[in-house]
Amino acid sequence: MAVMAVYDRVVVPGATIYFQNDEYVEATGKHPVSGERVTLAVLREDVDRDRRKSDSFYRIGAAGTVAELSPNGYLGVRIQNRLNMDEITVLPDGSLSLSVTRRPDVDDLDLEDAHRRVESIKNEIIAFSEKYSWGPMLRMQAQRWTTLWEIAGALSPWFASGSEEKYALLAQDELQKRFDQTEKLVRENIELAKVNTEAQSAQEKDYNRLYREEAIKKQMSYLQKELDELHPESVSDVRRLELKLEEAGMNELALKEGRRVLNRLKSEGGSGPEAGMLTDYLELLTSLPWKKEEGKKISLSEAREILDRDHAGLEKVKKRIVQQIAVMTLRGQQSGSILCFVGAPGTGKTSIGQSIARALGREYVRVSLGGVRDEADIRGHRRTYIGSMPGRIMDGIHKCGVSNPVMVLDEIDKLSSSFAGDPASALLEVLDPEQNANFTDHYLNVPFDLSDVFFICTANTLDTIPEPLLNRMEVIRFQGYTPLEKMEIAREHLLPKAVQAAGIGEGRLRVTDEAMEKIISEYTREAGVRGLKKRMDTICRTAAVHLVEHPEDTVEVLPENVDEYMDMRGLRAKRVGEQAKPGIVTGLAWTPVGGDILYIQTLMTKGAGKVTVTGQLGDVMKESAQLAVSLVKAYFPEQASVLKKSDLHIHVPDGATPKDGPSAGITLTTALASLVTGVPVTPQVAMTGEVSLQGDVKAIGGLPEKLMAAQRAGVKKVFIPRENVEDLRDVAQEVRNELEIVPVETIGEVWDQLGMRSYHMDLAI
């Protein structure tokens, strides 16, 4: 008898199992013959022929005959009875040797009930098949089925049930239970087939709808392109954004995000709730200058000429800018440090940025950071918020329209933090050349390259700038202007602009040099020229009134009639007097608006050695006063003994102005020495420097501003720390020519030159 292995099929008496002829030949070694007996051994798992063992088979099998031979290469084996597999041997060639006995059935089946249930199943199958194209073939087969076993055998290849459940039918001895189990299996799989077929049909409908929708969209896109070419003036907004998106030259991430938002806009439609927001985003994204600008050849001589023409003085600043331009010319790209211009208001920090832009042939954009306290002002707001917008950096890039502008971040020292974040921390990425090539604004949510932007920061002071941010910048100090430089600025820039703004014709207003000097010296007191500009505007407005009333006249401003053209009284300029008094010494101070002079005043009254310090002094300056008392007591023990029986009062005028810092140490000590020795110090002698407990004079900051303040106030001689001699090269020659600058190393040198030598005693340490 031929032996075949079968797996995952319903093998029960009465069923017909179908095989390919090749399977039969491979298993039996001969071609099938109608009526030939066949034994079927049921596999536990789908194991290859060469790996089968005796325990790979169940212990119950079946026997049948070849009942059908199809010309299409198939044969059907009709199962007739069940067999016990008493012994199974797998031969070396993979064929099987079996020892079997027939396994009887318990015939307790209700035939009438079984026939009724079979007809019900057949009708259900036929009704189910009528909806589908393969229905006729299934209905034709169903007409031939007379038993449940035939139905189960024919449909078992498509059953989703496992091989164990199918084998359980073969292992059931009682016919009624086998029938019930088989019916349950058939009906479950019919319902499962219904669900799968309905789901597949619904899925096909969805696919067909999507395919149709996609085809319509492509057709519409094609027709829209044809229409746009025929009528370019009537291109739709969505199509215009689509064209701009593809032509913008943006990076892959930006292009991907732009296409995603554009698809949302298309699906949303022009009247959707988010259409406006999506359109605004795409308008900004496609308007940004994504393409790199080609570097322009820069002439150093032309750059110097532009800087000199636009700004008088500031030689150190111009030199540094020319160096930056030279490096950029050699490298052919933006490089070098981020520049931070620090100085008093009105010294030209912001305006020189415009000159740098002209010298480089680039666009200029100014971003004001004064009062900014929200991180979103730098990085932008996320699009989830109503009214979201990009940050000031990307807004500036968008407005200038190029990827390599000169961007001035104005008033960077006026940043402050709040519950909304720290904007100074957000600037770290903007100003770091290692990071800003992939700067991501929260509104855009895509990286943008800022590496070609020439950043310039401006500040009045460095005290409020966080250290991590300051480390990313190169600080260039603006020292302020001398009177001669102010005169040149007023003549070349301020007065011509004021005349033009007032509409005064050429030659109808003349301001003499003497009058200009008086305005500078008596009506302004600043390191910059902002106040001087206001005075020029005032002169032109007053002159405009006269010229309107007397059209035939011309106006000439002379020293004697300057007061008539001013809208204010002359400033009470701090000018040193000529009368010297013991205990009063002129000092020099640095302020955010430039240098200034201050007077250290000391007074002794009858008392018990109490020391009082007034003038709204900070802790550092109070400590300098205590140190000065100790030094004077040590250097002048006899003269200073009077302090034991007297109260000492130290005062610094302008009590409404806070003062602090160690640089007044030399002035405080000299004022006390003058008080106890009775030697007066002329007010035309000023000094600045920190004093140690050993009497050494230490270096200080802000020397150029302090010396300019001394020159303005009429000081003739200034003591400075010897360590600050190198800083004199930053002081204008005009200032150095008018001052006698004396470097000192110890406080004793100062006293010696002021005539206190006869009272000076060596300090014993």
Question: Which CATH number characterizes residue 531's domain?
Answer: 1.10.8.60
Closest CA to 443 of 392, 386, 383, 399: 383
For 461, what's the count of Cα atoms within 13 Å in the CB-facing half-sphere?
10
CA 612 – CA 610 distance, rounded (Å): 7
Q: What is the pLDDT of residue 740?
A: 92
Q: Rounded mean pLDDT of 267-283?
A: 79
Q: Residues 593, 596, 599, 600: what is their CA dihedral angle, to the nearest 10 degrees?
A: 70
Closest CA to 313 of 171, 478, 539: 478
Which tens digits make up the pLDDT trace of 78-90?
999 999 999 998 8
Q: Is the pLDDT of residue 573 over 60?
A: no
What is the residue type of 354? Q
Same-domain check for residues 469 and 489 = no
Closest CA to 521 of 706, 687, 714, 707: 714
Which tens digits make up the pLDDT trace of 39-86?
999 999 888 888 888 888 999 999 999 998 888 888 989 999 999 999
Query: Tokens standing for 20?
Result: 């390919």
Same-domain check for residues 52 and 91 = yes
Instruction: With respect to residue 230, please indicate whether it lies within any of the assigned structural domains.
Output: no
CA 156 – CA 145 distance, rounded (Å): 14
Same-domain check for residues 458 and 493 = no
Q: How many domains is the chain built from?
A: 5
Cβ-based burial of 288 (10 A; exposed 0-12, middle 13-18, buried ≥19) = buried
Same-domain check for residues 270 and 326 = no
Instruction: With respect to residue 157, please indicate whether it lies within any of the assigned structural domains.
Output: no
Which tens digits make up the pLDDT trace of 373-383?
888 888 888 88
Radius of gyration of the chain (CA): 50
Annotated active-site positions, please? 663, 706
Q: What is the pLDDT of residue 228?
A: 65
Q: What is the pLDDT of residue 759?
A: 46
Q: Is the pLDDT of residue 535 over 50?
A: yes
Residues 483, 520 contacting (CB under 8 angstroms): yes
Closest CA to 639 of 507, 758, 504, 491: 758
Higher pLDDT, 549 or 638: 549
3-class secondary-structure state, position 445 = coil
Q: Which domain holds residue 66?
A: 2-103
Convert 533-597 into a string of H (helix), E (strand) and C (coil).
HHHHHHHHHHHHHHHHHCCCCCEEECHHHHHHHCCCCCCCCCCCCCCCCCCEEEEEEEECCEEEE
Instruction: With respect to residue 637, please indicate whether it lies within any of the assigned structural domains.
Output: yes
Instruction: With respect to residue 108, please indicate whether it lies within any of the assigned structural domains.
Output: no
Q: What is the pLDDT of residue 134?
A: 60
**Residue 630 backbone phi and psi in degrees, to 5:** -65, -40
Which tens digits make up the pLDDT trace of 205-251?
877 788 787 788 777 777 767 766 666 655 567 777 877 888 888 88
Same-domain check for residues 419 and 541 = no
Residues 652, 622 contacting (CB under 8 angstroms): no
Instruction: With respect to residue 681, please indicate whether it lies within any of the assigned structural domains.
Output: yes
What is the residue type of 622? K
Instruction: With respect to residue 307, please indicate whether it lies within any of the assigned structural domains.
Output: yes
CA 316 – CA 321 distance, rounded (Å): 9
Query: Tokens standing for 386?
Result: 């109503």
CA 397 – CA 453 distance, rounded (Å): 9
Cβ-based burial of 562 (10 A; exposed 0-12, middle 13-18, buried ≥19) = buried
CA 695 – CA 627 distance, rounded (Å): 10
CA 520 – CA 277 distance, rounded (Å): 54
Same-domain check for residues 488 and 465 = no
Q: Is the pLDDT of residue 565 over 80?
A: yes
Same-domain check for residues 466 and 502 = no
Q: Is the pLDDT of residue 765 over 60?
A: no
Among the candidates 287, 312, 347, a domain finishes at 287
CA 699 – CA 272 distance, rounded (Å): 69
CA distances from 439 to 55, 367, 380 (A): 68, 17, 12
Q: Is the pLDDT of residue 111 over 90?
A: no
Closest CA to 702 of 370, 456, 463: 463
CATH of the domain at 82: 2.30.130.40
Among the candidates 103, 133, 166, a domain finishes at 103
The separation between CA 20 and the C-alpha centre of its own chain, rounded to angstroms, equals 68
Higher pLDDT, 24 or 128: 24
User: Could you tell me the sign of the dihedral formed by the alpha carbons of 481, 487, 493, 497, in that order?
Assistant: positive
CATH of the domain at 402: 3.40.50.300
Same-domain check for residues 273 and 421 = no
Region of residue 172 (phi > 0: left; psi between -120 and 50: alpha; otherwise: beta): beta
Instruction: With respect to residue 542, please indicate whether it lies within any of the assigned structural domains.
Output: yes
CA 458 – CA 468 distance, rounded (Å): 16
Write out the DSSP string of 674-714.
HHHH-----TTEEE--EE-TTSBEEP-S-HHHHHHHHHHHT
Q: What is the pLDDT of residue 758?
A: 40
Same-domain check for residues 312 and 368 = yes
Element (H, E) at 78: strand 74-90
Among the candidates 478, 507, 534, a domain finishes at 478
Same-domain check for residues 640 and 514 = no
Same-domain check for residues 612 and 551 = no
Which tens digits make up the pLDDT trace of 610-649?
889 998 888 888 899 999 999 988 888 888 888 888 899 9
Higher pLDDT, 201 or 16: 16
Taking the alpha carbons at both ends of the chain, their separation in whole angstroms is 126
Query: Tokens standing for 238?
Result: 């969505």
Same-domain check for residues 719 and 742 = yes
Task: Report the interhelical angle of 252-268 vs 237-247 (nearest 10°).
Answer: 170
Query: Tokens standing for 633?
Result: 């007591």
Instruction: With respect to residue 250, please indicate whether it lies within any of the assigned structural domains.
Output: yes
